[in-house]
Structure 1
């Protein structure tokens, strides 16, 4: 072993004295601060909104079932904006998961004719799949009644929507929800009322509160349609407010309501439900909302 020189031993003595002096000062409660410990970096918080969920379940009504998109008076789920496999639509599920992923990990529990009162039951079905994202487009049938007086009261609409989200949240705390606004029903009436085919199909009972006696433009008819339109706006206010209370819920910011569906985006049989092209536009709106860095406003 190598012997330390006289000079080296002197340097070590000075260093040792300095160390002992600091330790002694700390021991008697001196002013010297303890050396800072290197803190471990805090883990990044999990964002409340995942822009690339791995599975999708859809709930809603005839729009999400793509009613009248492919054949007259028939559902066409393969053309659904939410979960359909049609390449012409490029549904939300396909955009998020790819064609194979969508086939395996997306489910459509929407029912033609469903109202908000049916949403809790549909949500219970969706919960069994444990989806990472649930899409909701519901409310048109609550306004599309035999008469305006038969429309779902706003308070009941709110209670059923809250109930559905509450049951989802209880079962799946981290599942995300995308909520689409109710379309502008009066806009759909104005687009289709000049079509004899549309009027003939409307007489079978499609949204009579708005579409009944489609060519009438007198004061009574105008009041009826405006009453329905106001109720749709109230429903959309409920959807926006309730969704805003849940950090894992995103509303479309009124994008579906504001979208100006033209004849190309409406069914060629009823001029009311979205066509295949209209379903594609809905898919675009949903994808933009789900993948945005911040919620749409």
Structure 2
């Protein structure tokens, strides 16, 4: 067996004592500074961070994002779109983020009037080809706006469609952020226009009959029908929130659009249901506030 010289043994003893002291000091310091972050917190800190200043924008969705009925009757008007429009009166989200002179070259609108959740995957696939910094999504109104209550999109189907669409975008463009707008409160839109004879005549053309049919009827069946549509919209919004929450680069608007009190002056003068220029401007303002916030809405 080998023996150790007294001096070397003393140095080892001192080194060990120093290490122990350092360890103890670290433990005491940790106690003074508070508990270590939970595992979930550390994971959140290590994940991707939301970029509040994206430099390109792609839009997906339905007639609202296409500016339908905002400029002329029964026609799209993408230049006033809240997401990617070029109209200075609207100051779209793209214009606010990129500057008015960059809208044409750095934003793309893949929304299609009449689209439902089942169409979103294809739109996001097209949007992903641009590898945009930000993708906006506003879809769900047409899933609730159907000829009858029974033909509204089932909630489970709506969820499956959003899961599929978001997963496809994430696979094709991993770094793209996604801003998801809540579905508007269709019952509030009914309340804004129902007392106008001219509006009621326009609604008879077939706009959102699940909500707008027999707009003045006080019958229990009509009231229950309208309440069912609103309840379905609430369920859709909960799906949007839950699915978006699972993606670190997805931000749901917290119900901002659903809760916004649209007035008659902010709706289309042709159908009093879709947003007009003023309504599109309010949508752009809401989105810009959410996208540029350091923290997601609560």
Q: CA deviation at 1:253?
A: 0.5
Q: Which residue in the other structure is 1:288 paired with?
A: 289
Alignment correspondent of 1:260: 261
1:25 to 1:75, Cα distance in 2 relative to 1, 3 A: farther
With structure 1 as the length reference, what TM-score do the two structures score? 0.86
Q: Which runs of 4+ in 1 moved over 2 A?
A: 28-34, 44-47
**1: distance between equivalents of 2:137 and 2:247?**
14
Residue deviations 1:6-62, cap 9 Å, x none? xxxxxxxxxxxxxxxxxx969x7463469x9xxxxxxx9785200001100000000
Structure 2 Cα separation of the partners of residues 217 and 98 of structure 1: 49
Between structure 1 and structure 2, the one with the greater Rg is: 1
Alignment of 1:31-46 (within 5 A): 31-32=14-15
Provide the C-alpha distance between the structure 2 equivalents of 1:146 and 1:74, rounded to a whole number of angstroms: 21
2:139 maps to: 138
1:250 and 2:251 correspond: yes
Superposition deviation, residue 247 in structure 1: 1.1
User: 1:196 Cα shift?
Assistant: 2.2
Q: Does residue 225 in structure 1 map to residue 226 in structure 2? A: yes
Q: Is the 8 A contact 2:181 2:253 kept in 1?
A: yes
Gaps of 5+ in 2: 1-6, 23-44
1:199 corresponds to 2:200: yes
Asked whether the equivalents of residues 85 and 91 of structure 2 are also in contact (C-alpha less than 8 Å), the reply is yes
How far off is 1:197 after superposition? 2.3
Q: In the TM superposition, what are the counterparts of 1:1-297 in structure 2 within 5 Å?
A: 29=12, 31-32=14-15, 47-297=48-298
Please give the per-residue CA displacement for 1:74-101, whole angstroms capped at 9, x wherever unaligned: 1100000000001111000000000122
- TM-score of the two chains, using structure 2 as the length reference: 0.85
- 5+ residue gaps, structure 1, are 1-23, 37-43
SS in 1 for 2:237: helix
**CA–CA separation in structure 2 for the residues paired with 1:196 and 1:90:** 33
Q: Which stretch shows the higher mean deviation, 73-82 or 47-56?
A: 47-56
Q: How many residues are paired up?
A: 266
Matched position secondary structure for 2:169: helix
Offset from partner CA, 1:211-231 (integer Å, 9 cap, x none): 111121211110110111100
Question: Post-superposition shift, 1:121?
Answer: 0.6
| Larger displacement relative to structure 2 (263-272 or 198-207) | 198-207
Q: CA distance change for structure 1 residues 271 and 31 in 2, over 3 Å: closer, same or farther?
A: same
Q: Hey, what's the Cα distance between the residues in 2 that align with 1:257 and 1:46?
A: 29
Deviation at 1:204, TM superposition (A): 1.3
